[in-house]
Amino acid sequence: MKHILDIIDSISEFTGRICRWAVVLLAAVMCYEVFSRYVLGRPTIWSFETSIMLYAFYFMMCASYALLYKAHVAIDFFYERLTKKGQALLDVISTTLFFFPFLVVVFIEGSKFAADSWMLLERSWSDFAPPLYPIKTVIPLTALLLLLQGFAGFYRNIQILLTGECYETKYKEEPLPSCAPVITDIPEVNRIEVEKLEEKKND
């Protein structure tokens, strides 16, 4: 089972690692459009729809990555004050009540929606006429990725409830920027003095 959880975490991690570059592409496409319109004197027909698709792909595909790193905004005011087991219990309850029903619905309905588009090989009405079925497939795909990552969290919480421990994830949030500002511009002489002072303090 540990193996399966690791695979799920890695899937979220690697979709995130790849998809986070989409925003660079998005910025490049839009800047090219502005450049093309004013410098080359001809607006492109493809940039408008391409940028919308890149944006949709970007935020949807990064959702499970954000879930892996617990970046989705939540109120942890009370949650934080609980024991590890208490937190696991709340998580199990709230994921069963809210998370799974919602994403199962989005997955099923989204699959139908995407399937309809694939059947018609649907294209946009514009001059550029890009195919629409790939971006519509992103909806069930996102739901699936979120469900997988949600399942991994759910399994870990059940483990904690039963045994008090769980298979930890390899991918952890790096600690917040620390309170001590990094002082780089102290001259070397002063730095030695500061270090001496600190040593004295420690004694």
Partner 1 sequence: MIEMAPGLITILMFVGLLGGLFLGQPLAFVLGGLATIFGVLGWGVDSLSLFINRINGLMEDYTLVAIPLFILMAQLMSKSGVAEGLFKTVQLLFGPVRGGIAVAVVIVSTLLAACTGITGAACVTMGVLGLPIMLKNGYDKKLATGCIAGSSALGILIPPSIMLIVMAEQSGETVGRLFAGAIIPGLILSTLYLTYILYQCWRYPHKGPALPKAERDAVTRPQLFKMLLTSLVPPLILIFGVLGVLFLGIATPTEASASGAFFAFVLYIAYGRFTKKGFIEVLTETAKTSAMVLVVMVGATCFTGVFMGLGGGDVVQEFILGAGFGKWGTFLLMMLICFFLGMFLDWIAIVMITFPIFLPIAQTLGFDTLWFVVAVAVMLQDSFCTPPFGYNLFYLKGCAPPEIKTKHIYLGAIPFWELMELGLVIVCIFPQTVLWLPSILIK
Which parts of this chain interact with partner 1 (CB under 8 A)? 16, 19-21, 23-24, 26-27, 29-31, 33-34, 38, 48, 51-52, 55-56, 58-60, 62-63, 65-67, 69, 71-79, 87, 90-91, 93-95, 97-99, 101-103, 105-106, 109-110, 112-113, 135-136, 138-139, 176-181
**At closest approach, how far in Å is the CB of 128 from partner 1?**
14
Considering the complex, state which of residue 113 and residue 118 has its C-beta at the smaller distance from partner 1: 113
d(C-alpha 40, C-alpha 33), whole Å: 10
| Structure tokens given for 173 | 């949030």
**At closest approach, how far in Å is the CB of 123 from partner 1?**
14
Measured CA angle at 174 (ends 5, 7), to 5 deg: 15
Considering the complex, state which of residue 6 and residue 33 has its C-beta at the smaller distance from partner 1: 33
Alpha helices in 22-179 (DSSP H): 22-38, 47-61, 63-68, 84-94, 100-120, 133-163
Q: CA end-to-end span of the chain, whole Å?
A: 50
**At closest approach, how far in Å is the CB of 4 from partner 1?**
22
- Do residues 16 and 142 touch, judged by C-beta distance below 8 A? no
